[in-house]
Every structure is written in C-alpha cells, then in structure tokens.
C-alpha cells in the first residue's frame, strides 16, 4: 500500500499538472506491474483509500481503475477487491501453453487432442479437381462460396438466419466473443473446457463463471446459479465435449433451454468434433430461435490444416463478424472453401470419414473396457478424448512420463473448481496398445495416494 501511494504521489508531483490525474495514476500502476514491483495477485488499495491517501477525488481513481481494467492489467472481483491480473496485459495464452509441445522424447503422445493423421481423408483428388480456380472477382464478394453456403444451410441443425466461414473453431470463438462481449461481461462456460477459450475470455476481461458438466451435459443447478450474474453469453460444446467426451442429451437440452429462455443470454455452441462423433448433435437452435450461434468445425474430420469452420446463427451477430472481418482478413480462402465443398460431396471422402469415426469409437470403447478392468469406470462419451480422474495430477503426469507416455494435465482445463485429472487423446491410441496403457494409467491414477471418486460423469469422473 505504502509503495503504491508513494510511487503515484511522486509521479503526480513530477508531472506538474501536465496530464490528467487519472492517466498519471493508471500509468504509474502499469509501470509498477511491468517492473515486477506489483506482482500477479497483489491486492491494490480500494478507490476511497487511495484517493484519501493521495488527496484526489475517488472519481479520478475510478477512472484510472477503468483504464487499467480495459488494458487487462487489473481485475476487480467484488469483496475480493482489486488485484493485479495474472499475465497482466500480455494476453499470453497461459493455459494453452501449459498443454505443452515437443513429444519427441515420448514413446506415445496422447496430449495433443488432434485427429489421427492416418485417418484423415486424402486431399489429393479434391485438390486436383479444384485446380487453380480463381474465385474472387471483388474484395467485396460474399465471403462464403455460394455452393458451400447452400450445403451448410441444408445440413445446419436449425434454420440459421445467416452463415459465414472462418479459420477454424477457435477463430470463430475469438471473432464472436470480440463482437458480443465487453470488458466486465459475465459469461457462463462449461467447466472443464477447452483451455484457449478460458485464455481468450480472460484476455477480454470477462467474468468467467463455471457451469459443471455431468453425463448429460451442463448441470442445471449451476446454470441457475450462473444466471444470477446476468451473463451475456453461455459457451457450450454440445457433443464430444473437450475434455470429458460428454454430449448433451435431448432432455437436458430442453431443461437448459427452459432456463435460458426468459433471459437475454446468447448461447454459443462449439461443435468442434463434427464428422467423427457417433451421436447426433443436440443443438438448442430450434428451442431458442434467434438466440443460438452454432459453430461447426472441420479440423477433426477433414484435417487441421484446412483451418475452416462455419458459423451460423442470428444475422445480427454473424453480420457483425463479417463486417469486422472486412477490415482484416476479409474472408477465408475460397480455394480452401471449394476444396472442402468437393470433399463434403465426394463419396470416397465420406467413406473415409465414416471409417475414421468407427475406428475412433472402437479405440475409445476398447480403452474404456480395459480401464474398467483396472477399477476405473468412466462414462462412454464420444470423440477423441478421455477425462481421467487421478489422486494427484502432478504425480500421475510424472509416472506416465517415466514410462514414455505423455498426456495433457488437467489444470489448464479448469478455472474455478480444480480437481486432479489428466486428459488422454485416445483417438490416437492403437487398440494393440490399449491393454498395457490402461494398466499404466490406472497405476498413475493412484500415484501419490489412494484413487478417489469424483462427481458427475461416472464412478470416477468429473
């Protein structure tokens, strides 16, 4: 407290009235954070306390605090006070980075969450057919290739007012969030969830409120509690939830829709695993007309390097995404869009994706069976990933790494309700490896103590 007051007072004295006092206060605090004199988590004086100590108006300090908040330097959380944000102002994707890279030293890498490259369809024939097509006659052309737009509209889970194509699901989440959220916006997010989404929302200065997930999807009681904060949006993964593998059931979808209907909350559905899941998607688009933005990703089915995802929903939201994009990238490559369209209608590719879907399902089922034989029972789920509870996360990671197996730590997937887990991308695991790895995972789950039972998805899941 004293150091903050002294630093700000010295700066106020040195400026001699040449700048607004609120700017001086904000600049001084920012410099203290940048220098390390104020560290992430440090609590700052209250507005009234600092104003009294400096002999300035509380309004002046409030203006400074707003500037610092907008810049991502500090965060204010009611009774918990105002604190320096972790990674203040950097926007560093700390949770995403915590998943790590560099798997060369591991015998098996199940940490990535990516599809098996050997199960992706061959791009060659479609690339040959697309050739060197010139699809752009004007920079103001529609950003979506018309034929692809027609295909998407015909297969969308609900009648979307508008559709567009962007550079993958995370790009979609980024663009939607930037358009609908402001600093301080409250948002509901399933927890656990995709780490970059948490990084993104925190970078935007949002109040992120966790909604637990059980075997049928978002837990209604958590939704009810979250709605008390009057959130702007609710981010969900309707099927093959990353990391749990849960898909929302039809009955749960109706319950959640009933809870959201009286509110103004916009629901954002991230169907990132489209094409490789065995179950249908239970979108709330028909239940909440004009209130759902649905994202369909093609990275898991057709390949991450296509970098394409479609967004469909209210024209007001999609229109804002399109308009803002005109001042940047403009559109996603129409050549890639045409390539995707060709693949979506090619029987050989369709069969290849069906084969991949069956292989992923078989790998998941086999590994779950082997885990059960070792005393770890998880819900069936869908998609590429398993969310495995462990007694001590760090001990489990070390035990698996010592055996040459890399998995993703669970901590980056959470932001409030920390529980020790690891995520395994079992979609990358050949069935021939399932037996020995299940035993290894079961042993690692007990490293550091007795195995525990978690709530929600199954006898040992979150």
Is residue 51 one of the residues assigned to a domain?
yes
In a domain, 388, yes or no: yes
**Rounded mean pLDDT, 86-96:** 61
134 plus 174 within the same structural domain? yes
Same domain, 279 and 324: yes
Domain limits for position 72: 2-84
Q: Quick check: pTM over 0.85?
A: no
Query: Measured between alpha carbons, how far is 337 from 331 in angstroms, rounded to an integer?
Result: 10
Q: Could you give the number of structural domains in the chain? A: 3
The answer to whether residue 264 is domain-embedded is yes
- Closest by CA to 312, choosing from 270, 366, 363, 354, is 270
Q: Which of 330, 345, 360 is where one domain is finished?
A: 345
The residues near 108 (Cβ < 8 Å, ≥ 6 apart) are 404, 405, 406, 428, 429, 433, 437
CATH of the domain at 55: 1.10.10.10
Bridge partner list, 190: 211
* Distance between CA atoms of residues 450 and 443, nearest Å: 10
**pLDDT tens digits, 245-304:** 999 999 999 999 999 999 999 999 999 999 999 999 999 999 999 999 999 999 999 999
* Same domain flag for 173 and 33: no
Q: Which of 255, 204, 206, 261 is nearest to 231 (CA)?
A: 206
Cα–Cα distance between 412 and 455 in angstroms, integer? 19
Look at residues 324, 345, 366 and tell me which one is the last residue of a structural domain: 345
Whether residues 31 and 134 share a domain: the answer is no
What pLDDT is attached to residue 457? 57
247 in the same domain as 222: yes
Domain CATH code at residue 408:
3.90.1150.10
Residue 456 lies in a domain: no
Residue 257: which CATH number? Answer: 3.40.640.10
Closest by CA position to 350, among listed 151, 53, 66: 151
One domain for residues 333 and 405: no
The verdict on residue 460 lying in a domain is: no
Give per-residue pLDDT as tens, 347-398: 999 999 999 999 999 999 999 999 999 999 999 999 999 999 999 999 999 9
Same domain, 247 and 286: yes
State pLDDT tens for residues 31-76.
787 677 888 888 898 888 889 888 899 999 888 888 787 667 888 7
Classify the phi-psi angles of 176: left when phi > 0, otherwise alpha if psi is within -120 to 50, otherwise beta. alpha
Residue 461 is assigned to a structural domain of this protein? no
DSSP code for 43 = B
Give Cα 188 to chain centroid, integer Å.
Answer: 12
At 276, give phi and psi (nearest 5°).
-115, 5
**Same-domain status, 246 and 335:** yes
Instruction: Let me know: does 383 contact 277? Beta carbons within 8 Å.
Output: yes
pLDDT at residue number 420:
93
Counts for the chain of helices (H) and strands (E), in that order: 17, 14
Q: Is residue 234 part of a domain?
A: yes
For residue 412, is it within any domain?
A: yes
Do 7 and 142 belong to one domain?
no
Residues 199 and 317 in one domain: yes
Domain end residue (candidates: 315, 345, 375): 345
Statement: residue 458 has pLDDT above 50: no
Indicate if 129 and 165 belong to the same structural domain: yes
**Phi and psi, residue 421, nearest 5°:** -145, 165
Same domain (yes/no): 340, 252? yes
């Amino acid at each position: 407290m004293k150091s903050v007051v002294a630093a700000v007072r010295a700066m106020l004295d040195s400026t001699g009235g040449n700048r607004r006092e609120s700017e001086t206060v904000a600049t001084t605090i920012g410099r203290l954070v940048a220098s390390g004199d104020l560290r992430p988590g440090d609590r700052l004086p209250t507005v009234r306390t600092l104003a009294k100590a400096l002999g300035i108006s509380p309004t002046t300090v409030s203006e400074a605090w707003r500037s610092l908040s907008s810049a991502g330097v500090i965060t204010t959380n009611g009774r918990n006070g105002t604190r320096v944000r972790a990674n203040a102002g950097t926007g560093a994707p700390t949770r995403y980075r915590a998943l790590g890279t560099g798997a060369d030293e591991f015998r098996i890498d199940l940490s990535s969450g990516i599809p098996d490259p050997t199960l992706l369809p061959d791009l060659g024939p479609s690339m040959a057919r697309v050739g060197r097509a010139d699809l752009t006659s004007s920079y103001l052309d529609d950003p979506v290739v018309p034929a692809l737009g027609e295909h998407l509209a015909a297969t969308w889970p609900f009648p979307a007012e508008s559709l567009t194509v962007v550079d993958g699901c995370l790009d979609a989440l980024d663009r939607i969030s930037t358009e609908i959220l402001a600093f301080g916006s409250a948002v509901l997010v399933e927890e656990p969830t995709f780490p970059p989404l948490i990084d993104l929302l925190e970078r935007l200065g949002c109040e992120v409120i966790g909604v637990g997930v059980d075997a049928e999807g978002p837990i209604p009681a958590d939704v009810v509690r979250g709605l008390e904060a009057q959130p702007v949006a609710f981010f969900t993964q309707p099927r093959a939830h990353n990391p749990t593998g849960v898909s929302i059931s039809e009955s749960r979808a109706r319950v959640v829709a009933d809870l959201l209907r009286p509110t103004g909350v916009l629901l954002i559905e991230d169907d990132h695993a489209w094409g490789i899941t065995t179950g249908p998607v239970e979108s709330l688009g028909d239940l909440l007309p004009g209130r759902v933005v649905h994202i369909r990703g093609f990275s898991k089915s057709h390949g991450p390097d296509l970098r394409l995802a479609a967004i469909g929903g209210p024209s007001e939201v999609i229109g804002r995404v399109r308009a803002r994009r005109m001042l940047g990238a403009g559109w996603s490559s129409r050549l890639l869009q045409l390539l995707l369209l060709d693949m979506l209608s090619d029987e050989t590719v369709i069969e290849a994706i069906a084969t991949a879907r069956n292989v992923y399902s078989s790998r998941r089922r086999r590994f779950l069976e082997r885990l059960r034989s070792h005393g770890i029972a998880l819900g069936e789920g869908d998609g590429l990933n398993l969310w495995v509870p462990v007694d001590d996360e760090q001990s489990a990671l070390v035990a698996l790494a010592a055996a040459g197996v890399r998995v993703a730590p669970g901590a980056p997937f959470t932001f409030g309700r920390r529980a020790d887990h690891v995520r395994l991308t079992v979609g990358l695991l050949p069935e021939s490896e399932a037996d020995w790895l299940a035993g290894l995972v079961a042993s690692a789950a007990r490293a550091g103590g007795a195995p525990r039972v978690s709530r929600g998805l199954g006898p040992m899941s979150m």
